[in-house]
Structure 1
Amino acid sequence: MKNGFSRGKIDNTLFTKHLKDDYILVQLYVDDIIFGAISDKLCKEFSTLMQSELEMSMMGELKLFLGLQIKQEKDKIYIHQTKYIKDMLKKYNMHKSNDMSTPMYPNTVLDKNDESSLVDPTSYRGMIGSLMYLTSSRPDIMFSVCLCARFQVNPQQSHLSVVKRIFRYLIGTTNLGLLYEKGSDFRLKGFCDADYAGDKVERKSTSGGCHFLGNCLVSWSSKRQSTISLSTAEAEYVAASSCCTQLLWIKHQLEDYNFHESSIPLLCDNTSVINIAKNLVQHSRTKHIEIKHHFIRNLVEKGHIDISHVHTEDQLADILTKPLLERRFADLRRRINMQSAY
């Protein structure tokens, strides 16, 4: 702060500094520092400053951070976990298995008591934990991993078989990662979707949401809803409210980078949800929905969120709510900018 840096209002570990047309960003994580600037001069000055204050070493261009591999090119950046995947496959002795085209069969149904034999819970939880960490760069396995994670108390052979299929899918997609391309479009937008009563155990729905800056995927989630929805419209409405909270957080986060969003588009494939969000009159479709989810109406009324319809075929959040056929899965995976890093 004494050297002219400003601290982020939302993210207190973010520091920025402006010098005429130059601009430097500094992000802290415990004892690691990532920084980047428009000019090399600012980077060198910051490096000299930090080394004069603290005992630290320069690692050079960012290539590895918290298990994430970063591959930088002139007009694009890849983020992937190829090395982590290969090590994980060897750890669980899955590296010689046959690969699969999708992480889960479309008609897969998991139950708590399906009369199959019990498996070692410690090993099962270890596999789930390893896969959960992988979802930080692999949204394509997010739904499958989160579904299997619900059965960690008494895992059975049927649950382990589904987990092993995820590993077999990773064998053929080891190099896949997220692509971030340089571009002028930096508009924030979100996609929300829900699988009504997709959880066959508790009959709860699954919310899925993905959020983009331009064409770049920056945030995603797949989560079982806390309450039981009584209709598809209600399940989708709850998913939309969850997506809204994340969009608002990203909106405020972007203000630390001097990007100010006004009306953020939220794309949903259910017209009933759009009507509920824009119509302030209570009716039969809304009387069972918890009050906390209705804040989306206030956001729409104030113009912070612009909820609009998207065709089901263009609903990118679909990959986060249910298992899909190979063709549909591959199409959505491509459209969320997942490509081979090599």
Structure 2
Amino acid sequence: MGELSFFLSLQVKLIETRTFISQPKYTAELLKKFGTDTCADAATPMSSSVKLDKDEDGQVVDITTYRGIIGSLLYLTASRPDILFAVGVFGRFQANPNQSYYTAIKRILKYLKGTQDVELWYPKDSSFNIISYSDADYADCKIDRKSTSGTCQFLGDRLVSWYSKKQTSVATSTAEAEYLTAGS
């Protein structure tokens, strides 16, 4: 069958001492599908000043398009953990997407336009020590005051697992929010 080069839209490049995984073709198709292939680039997937809350009075957008963007971006997180947090935040508004959420999620697509060549790098000769990092914000969601937890796990120098999700309970302090993250 030969050497692996593509698998489920993942491009795999095997070089002597390392392996690279990316999805540049899928990213380009995604940008073209949602009409952002000719727009300006964004430096980050999400603005640090954006604080989304319920926008019940905002202009309603096509729910199918919004969910299509979210679903496509979730698939892309297999090789792009840098967009995972932003996709998770904007995915919370799939039930009733409005123009403000749609504009914010388009920023992720603009970020991808400028970073299509980003790859995950897995060196062959690294240790097998397990390292885990976790963090949480404190009551950042304006709607229900819940915190968002995030973790990533490394096997040596290799990123092998990551996630970001809203906590199921409301933390009463930053220490409690961090404790809930570490426990999960």
TM-score by length of 2: 0.97
1:104 aligns to 2:49 (yes or no): no
Partner of 1:154: 96
Query: 2:53–2:141: 8 Å Cα contact kept in structure 1?
Result: no
The Cα shift of 1:107 comes to 0.9
Q: Distance in 1 between matches of 2:45 and 2:59?
A: 22
Alignment equivalent of 2:5, drawn from 50, 63, 78: 63
The Cα shift of 1:184 comes to 3.8
Partner of 1:126: 68
Task: Tell me the amino acid that sits aligned with residue 53 of structure 2.
Answer: D
Higher helix share: 1
Task: Tell me the amino acid that sits aligned with residue 40 of structure 2.
Answer: N
Structure showing greater relative contact order (alpha-carbon pairs closer than 8 Å, 6 or more residues apart): 2
Q: Distance in 1 between matches of 2:105 and 2:56?
A: 16
Partner of 2:168: 226
CA-based RMSD: 0.9
Identity %: 51
Query: 2:126–2:157: 8 Å Cα contact kept in structure 1?
Result: no
1:211 aligns to 2:153 (yes or no): yes
The Cα shift of 1:116 comes to 2.1
Change (3 A) 1:204 1:238: same
Task: Tell me the amino acid that sits aligned with residue 134 of structure 2.
Answer: C
Task: Tell me the amino acid that sits aligned with residue 173 of structure 1.
Answer: T
Structure 2 unaligned blocks of 5 or more: none
Q: Could you say what secondary structure the match of 1:115 adopts?
A: coil
Q: Could you say what secondary structure the match of 2:119 adopts?
A: strand
Between 1:160-169 and 1:191-200, the stretch displaced more is 191-200
Q: How does 1:226-265 map to 2 (within 5 A)?
A: 226-242=168-184
The Cα shift of 1:114 comes to 5.5
Query: 2:152–2:163: 8 Å Cα contact kept in structure 1?
Result: yes
Q: Distance in 2 between matches of 1:156 and 1:214?
A: 42
Query: 2:85–2:164: 8 Å Cα contact kept in structure 1?
Result: yes
| Equivalent residues, number | 184
Q: How does 1:15-164 map to 2 (within 5 A)?
A: 58=1, 60-113=2-55, 115-164=57-106
Bigger Rg, which one: 1
Task: Tell me the amino acid that sits aligned with residue 206 of structure 1.
Answer: T
